[in-house]
Amino acid sequence: MKKRAETLAKDHELGTTAKDFYQYIIDSLINGQRQQVRSLFNEMHKDNKQDFLINFLDVSEGYHKSTLNICIIELTQ
């Protein structure tokens, strides 16, 4: 079952907001953990996936653009 990002942030002891969880996904990529990025993205409820892709990621930033590309591939599989 997919979870809300706020719940996932609490589960991973990152904080209490969706943005805390979203930033963890970016940090995972920065640390070279591409598979972790995929796994974390796939744990999220579809509404949070949309929010993450549309509202949180800033494609003018390199790591955000790379994360977007990874997540788009996950959506097509």
Q: What pTM was computed for the model? A: 0.94
Half-sphere exposure of 50 (CA within 13 A, CB side): 3
pLDDT in tens, 19-71: 999 999 999 999 999 999 999 999 999 999 999 999 999 999 999 999 999 99
Q: How far apart are CA 54 and CA 39, in angstroms?
A: 19
